[in-house]
């Protein structure tokens, strides 16, 4: 895989996904720490996903979606 930064549209989609994670987490009444504990990741990872500063793995997205009662499709839809 290239070391070049991803295209702007990829970064924009990560921001949208991060917003969805944050909104769903808040709607569920969970803190970043609580969501992270449910998923089995560090709360800093949740923060990085919500603010689009990291590229989460498919596994982490699946676990987050399940912890928030969403399908992966709902989480990443356009």
Q: Give per-10-residue mean pLDDT for the chain (78 aa).
A: 84 96 98 98 98 94 97 93
Q: What is the Cα–Cα distance from 16 to 3, expressed in whole angstroms?
A: 23
Over the Cα atoms of the chain, what is R_g? Answer: 12
Q: What is the pLDDT of residue 1?
A: 57
Give, to the nearest 10 degrees, the angle between helix 43-50 and helix 32-39: 110
- pTM, 2 dp: 0.91
How crowded is residue 48: how many other Cβ atoms within 10 Å of its Cβ? 16
Delimit the domains of the chain by residue range: 8-76
Q: What is the pLDDT of residue 33?
A: 98
Q: What is the pLDDT of residue 78?
A: 83
In the CATH hierarchy, which fold is given to the domain comprising 8-76? 434 Repressor (Amino-terminal Domain) (1.10.260)
Q: What is the Cα–Cα distance from 26 to 31, expressed in whole angstroms?
A: 7
């Amino acid at each position: 895989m290239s070391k070049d930064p991803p295209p702007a549209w990829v970064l924009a989609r990560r921001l949208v996904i991060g917003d969805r994670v944050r909104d769903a987490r808040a709607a569920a009444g969970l803190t970043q720490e609580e969501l992270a504990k449910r998923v089995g990741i560090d709360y800093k990872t949740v923060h990085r996903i919500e603010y689009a500063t990291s590229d989460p793995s498919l596994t982490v997205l699946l676990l987050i979606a399940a912890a928030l009662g969403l399908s992966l499709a709902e989480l990443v839809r356009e």
